[in-house]
Amino acid sequence: MRRTMIALSIAAALAASGCGEKAQKDENVKDSVKAEQSKNAMAQQSDNLLLADWIGPYGGVPAFDKMELEDLKPAIEKGIEMSLAELKAIAADSAKPTFANTIVPMERSGAELGRATAYYGIWAANMSSPEFRKVQQELAPIWADYESKIYQNKALFKRIKAIYDQRDSMDLDAEQKRVVDLIYTQFSTSGATLEGEAKERYAEINKRLAELYTTFSNNVLADEEGYDIFLSKEQLAGLPDSFVAAAAAMAEEKGEKGKYAITNSRSSMDPFLTYSDNRELRKQVWTNYYSRGDNGDEHDNNALIAEILTLRDERVGLQGFDNYAQWRLQDRMAKTPERAMELMEAVWPAAVARVKEEVADMQAVADAEKANITIEPWDYRYYAEKVRKDKYDLNSDEVKQYLQLDNLREAMFYVAGELFNFEFTPVKEGSVPVFHEDVKVWEVTDKTSGEHIGLWYLDPFARAGKRSGAWATMYRDHSTFDGKKNVLSSNNSNFIKGAPGEPVLVSWDDAETFFHEFGHALHFLASNVTYPTLNSGVRDYTEFQSQLLERWLSTDAVIDNYLVHYKTGEPIPADLVAKIKKAAKFNQGFATTEYLASALIDLKFHTVDPKGIDPDKFERETLEKLGMPKELVMRHRTPHFGHIFSGEGYSAGYYGYMWADVLTSDASEAFAESKGGFYDKNVAAKLVKHLFAPRNAVDPADAYRAFRGRDANIEALMRDRGFPIPEKKESSVAAKN
């Protein structure tokens, strides 16, 4: 089905049809008036820009420059109406169910709604506003109702099941069988088999969850926008010049010219905690960031989380599952929460042990400086940087001078050209509409044939109304069953703009994230599947391709050609490169433990009885039982853990980053061991053929074996992080069925 469900939170009941007629009117007249009103409304909505076919170059592009918020709700409502009508017609077909008369039209359905949700996604992620959030809240139950009407359509599911049961005897190719399997599984795990009261309750729960997810997200965004700190010049000690310039530009943008803005986002928080000499300010910035959604005010998320957990547990109970994680993981690579937990518990002791070593090193530095402190979470990054300089003679700010955002983008294009044979060319200015002046667009073509592959949009900078972090998305995915559809892909970041005329300099971690998200875009662009459903992702696999692409940042070809000093243009010195590589495993205790803490809490939340749960207390007590070091905190604390509480994409699945990282480490060794290294043409061809192009047309476990010739195992991951390899039990955990 072409239902681009981008974690929408689309809300509110369909607007009443304006039937304010007086009761004494004749019923026939009343019905005639209502019918005319409905006809007029449909005529108006059919002209809605957000539903219209995309026109223009490159197979048609979204009219981002013409979208109006007032059109959004009518477009979503009309799109849902049209989609349900299409599915109703498929379900009502009296002919024997076949792939051609059931699955194909389902794959074709929902095109108008898909276009409308592409615009919705821009407002939700890139250009939110109080006005949009009101519409968002109003639309949420509509989306839940829509999903319920799809999955609880008994006639439609009966046709799907008939094809599923006979798929081996039908003349279906491998892709078609995979589509049938995925659609049947989606329906059967989404309440299609329920009857009576259970069916009604399932729909009620979905509607309420949609409202809660929207409120959760908006509460976090409100706390990100409401806790800016404006500093004076006297409070800037230790901060790099590039950061100071960016903070000044941000303050001016926010109407505080002459001051320096520290926004409540990771892109601002992280460097401030790394470099600021002012410990009290570090504590304030740290507290603001890690208290998002947890301030006991109107934006507090704890009560919402408790209700979300309770409703999720009740919903899967209706289907006979013991807990939410059991239901969620049944079609993932891990298959069960026990296997996911097994992987994390294998790594956790080594990560915590490394944290103790890192803290000891930091405390020694603090003591030598006579700081008279004990390392606290707001000190970790600051003293880790001092240890980095001391142990490896590596200054992160010195490294940043060679990490210009524009050059990194060109480096990514180079890697894409070498591995995928892609070429990125800026489109003619004004030829492709954009939703903000910061957004730039490139055409992607095959270097050899010149064939058009798609477009790549880049929205790199932070601004008010834009969600935090970095992400990738598609406005149109690839398919060929109904005429070739070229990809419209997008990367989005929150880099802080530099001062006018100055390049944007980023940290090594941010550069890795830039490559990571580009890996998602390449996964979209490399798609070579027939049906839209095959572009869906398996959550504990879909991060693998993006995590793998991070490895090319530190390859010689990128370092030698794209890392040049932003002032002198001189290449990064060989001795500095050597220090970077020598320090590659530095601070892995911090990085691994803060991530694993979040992943473990996620899975534990979704495997316990949530009745009467106090999320704040549960987080605190669970971390204590795990032996969480007091000197650091979860990467995403529960009250702002949008991955798992603003929707269901990563719920009970945040472990997937580590699951995918086992694959990443193992696949990296395949390149490292090859004759041509990370640019080996044969290995790259296998990578594209087996791990990128098929998307979800092949079971991920089978796809990985086709690439590597075997399952992946945990040893490569432990080597990557400099951790001791655990005693052998069942080490090939990452690719088994």
The token duo for 542 is 């879909």
Helix (H/G/I), strand (E/B), else coil: 398: helix
Cα–Cα dist 208/143, whole Å: 11
Three-state secondary structure readout of 694-734: CCCCCCHHHHHHHHHCCCCCHHHHHHHHCCCCCCCCCCCCC
Residue whose tokens read 């998002």: 292
Q: Which amino acid is at 318?
A: L
Cα–Cα dist 517/536, whole Å: 17
Interhelix angle 266-275/279-290, rounded to 10 degrees, is 150
Helix (H/G/I), strand (E/B), else coil: 483: strand
> In degrees to the nearest 10, what's the CA dihedral of 653, 657, 658, 661?
140
Cα–Cα dist 413/420, whole Å: 10
Quick one: CA dihedral 345, 511, 689, 2, positive or negative?
Answer: positive
The token duo for 268 is 């601002």
Helix (H/G/I), strand (E/B), else coil: 205: helix
How do beta strands 260-262 and 229-231 pair?
antiparallel
Cα–Cα dist 688/666, whole Å: 16
* Residues in CB range of 47: below 8 A, 6 or more apart: none
User: Hey, which residues does 489 pair with through a beta bridge?
Assistant: 456, 474
Do residues 141 and 207 touch, judged by C-beta distance below 8 A? Answer: yes
User: Hey, which residues does 74 pair with through a beta bridge?
Assistant: none
Question: What is the secondary structure of 534-589 as a DSSP string?
Answer: GG---HHHHHHHHHHHGGGGGSHHHHHHH-B-TTT-PBPPHHHHHHHHHTTTTTHH
Helix (H/G/I), strand (E/B), else coil: 453: strand
User: Hey, which residues does 495 pair with through a beta bridge?
Assistant: 461
Cβ-count burial 606-627 (b if 16+ within 10 Å, e if not): bbbebeebebbebbeebbeebe
| Number of Cβ within a 10 Å radius of residue 480 | 12
Do residues 310 and 611 touch, judged by C-beta distance below 8 A? Answer: yes
Cα–Cα dist 78/356, whole Å: 57
Q: Which of 408, 587, 404, 567 is nearest to 491 (CA)?
A: 408
Three-state secondary structure readout of 289-334: HHCCCCCCCCCCCHHHHHHHHHHHHHHHHCCCCCCHHHHHHHHCCC
Cα–Cα dist 400/402, whole Å: 5
Do residues 441 and 426 touch, judged by C-beta distance below 8 A? Answer: yes
Do residues 463 and 153 touch, judged by C-beta distance below 8 A? Answer: no
Helix and strand element counts for the chain (H, E): 28, 7
Quick one: CA dihedral 229, 591, 510, 519, positive or negative?
Answer: negative
Q: Which amino acid is at 693?
A: A
The token duo for 10 is 């689309």
Do residues 232 and 203 touch, judged by C-beta distance below 8 A? Answer: no
CA angle, 350 as apex, 344 and 351 as ends, to 5°? 75
* Residues in CB range of 353: below 8 A, 6 or more apart: 589
Catalytic (active-site) positions: 517
The token duo for 174 is 């491998």
